[in-house]
């Protein structure tokens, strides 16, 4: 019984550490790109930031950590965009 409790505690700690580490790795503040922006997805070293692309707002692909914009897509593409999504974005939706 004591072993089972210890196992459950260890699993709980590992889950908490993983969640914290995962959040820390993203390290992108979506409000930096606009007040209506939210993190929509992650893929490798990139984070997808949706600034209401569904109503013609931009969708940014940014680097984790630095927040550097790699590509701007979404509604911003009405004037023409290239590299959407960027070649580094290898994940499927």
Domain boundaries, the chain: 2-79
Q: What is the spatial distance between Cα 54 and Cα 75, in angstroms, rounded to a whole number?
A: 8
- 18: pLDDT strictly greater than 70: no
Residue 17: the pLDDT is 47
With 0.85 as the threshold, say if the pTM is over it. no
Q: What is the pLDDT of residues 33-62, one digit of tens each?
A: 999 999 999 999 999 999 999 999 999 999
Q: Which residues contact 19 (CB under 8 A, 6 or more apart)?
A: none
- 77: pLDDT strictly greater than 90: no
Residue 27: the pLDDT is 78
Sheet holding 38-43, edge to edge: 38-43, 46-50, 58-63, 69-74
């Amino acid at each position: 019984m004591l072993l089972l409790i210890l196992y459950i505690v260890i699993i709980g700690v590992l889950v908490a550490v993983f969640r914290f580490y995962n959040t820390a790795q993203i390290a992108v503040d979506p409000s930096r790109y606009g007040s209506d922006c939210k993190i929509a997805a992650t893929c490798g070293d990139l984070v997808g930031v949706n600034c209401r692309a569904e109503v013609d707002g931009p969708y940014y692909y940014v680097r984790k950590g630095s927040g550097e914009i790699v590509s701007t897509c979404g509604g911003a593409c009405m004037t023409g965009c290239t590299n959407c999504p960027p070649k580094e974005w290898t994940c499927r939706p």
